[in-house]
Structure 1
Amino acid sequence: MNTSPRYHGLSIALHWLMALLIIGAIGVGLSMGEMSLSPLKIKLINWHKWVGITVLGLAAVRLLWRMYARPPALPATLPAWQTGAAHAMHLLLYVLMFAIPLSGWAMSAAKGFPVVYLGLFPLPDLVAPDEALGDTLADVHSALSYGLIALLVAHVAAALKHHLIDRDDILSRMLPACRRPR
């Protein structure tokens, strides 16, 4: 168990980098969803795929790092239900950081569109082309993404509640160079 009151600097950097990438991927995903096929849509799809694969790789790094650099303990004053909710939310966030990019990658393969990371590195197809499977995976990818949006809203709301209402250090220990609220 981490006895420090704060997360390690690498944990903080990975958290905020991934937050920006995930929010960007969600924004691009939502904006391109209803677009008609065009060069811009194809460009956005590729950017979305590249960010997704980057998130997948960073999620693996983050999970390995978390096993090494354990997070700081939650305050002992936190009610048991909040501790349980925090652990469940973090577990679900990690599951989705893997499941969403993998479902998108598999969907792309099933629809017959390879993933070429950054336009340079072709990635192996996770499944064989199959239009019906591609449609199912598109629905799965979308449902998981909306689930992630809901979890992110709850995550941010909980962090803000701790910071602004409870005035504890739950949020500040994940902020770069932040002091505890007074």
Structure 2
Amino acid sequence: MDRYTKPAMLLHWLIALLIISAFGLGLTMVDIPGLTPTKLKYFSWHKWLGVTVLALACARLLWRLTHRAPAYPAHMPQWQQSAAHGLHLGLYALMFAIPVSGYFYSLAAGVPVVYLGVLPLPVLMAPNPELKPLLKETHYWLNMILLGAFALHVLAALKHQFIDRDNIFKRILP
């Protein structure tokens, strides 16, 4: 069975864990009323997770561009191969678009991002109260699209594991 490389597996599972954490933290922090120390701490952590996802997504893309993915099984219908390829492209795009939209939303709100509380990221735009709501909505809806794509990805993996029993899921397992 053709498998992903160990670095590809590590990046896949690490990014997945970080995205799930950032998503859960994002849902939690926006439900905290007012501007409390806990809410501010969660916003910082959420941003740090986003920056980390973006950096790891860059590493993952570079790895993927230089190391081919395992071929799909010959018995897998072409439409499923095309759908899987399209979903993977979409997931890659979202791994970049979501952190970038959050970064610009933060800048539009006039709140610079300081990675891990010590490394200020470049301020690429001035505060922009007119753009802030658009970037907030963009960040939200990109996350909702990611939630749907993630669910589809997991359901497809489970289908291949438990219904088709074609070992596709095992290719990404360490």
Q: Which position in structure 2 is the counterpart of 1:160?
A: 158
Structure 1 stretches of at least 4 aligned residues deviating more than 2 Å after TM superposition: none
2:93 to 92, 95, 114: 95
Alignment map for 1:129-140 (pairs within 5 Å): 129-140=127-138
CA deviations 1:83-114 (Å, max 9, x no partner) are 01000000000000000000000000000000
Task: List alignment gaps of at least 5 residues for structure 1.
Answer: 177-182
When structure 1 is superposed on structure 2, of 42-51 and 4-13 the one drifting more is 4-13
Paired amino acid for 2:111: F
CA apart distance, 1:72 = 0.5
TM-score, with length taken from structure 2: 0.97
Q: Which position in structure 2 is the counterpart of 1:77?
A: 75
The DSSP-based 3-state class of the residue aligned with 1:132 is coil
Asked if 1:32 corresponds to 2:29, the answer is yes
TM-score, with length taken from structure 1: 0.93
Q: Which position in structure 2 is the counterpart of 1:21?
A: 18
The DSSP-based 3-state class of the residue aligned with 2:98 is helix
**Alpha-carbon distance between aligned partners in 2 of 1:9 and 1:54, rounded to the nearest angstrom:** 20
By percentage of residues, which structure has more helix?
2
The DSSP-based 3-state class of the residue aligned with 2:169 is coil
When structure 1 is superposed on structure 2, of 96-105 and 29-38 the one drifting more is 29-38
2:143 to 145, 153, 172: 145
Asked if 1:5 corresponds to 2:11, the answer is no
| Alpha-carbon RMSD | 0.8
2:61 to 60, 63, 77: 63
Percent identity over paired residues: 54
**Alpha-carbon distance between aligned partners in 2 of 1:151 and 1:108, rounded to the nearest angstrom:** 25
How many corresponding residue pairs?
A: 173
**Alpha-carbon distance between aligned partners in 2 of 1:138 and 1:52, rounded to the nearest angstrom:** 15
**Alpha-carbon distance between aligned partners in 2 of 1:5 and 1:157, rounded to the nearest angstrom:** 21
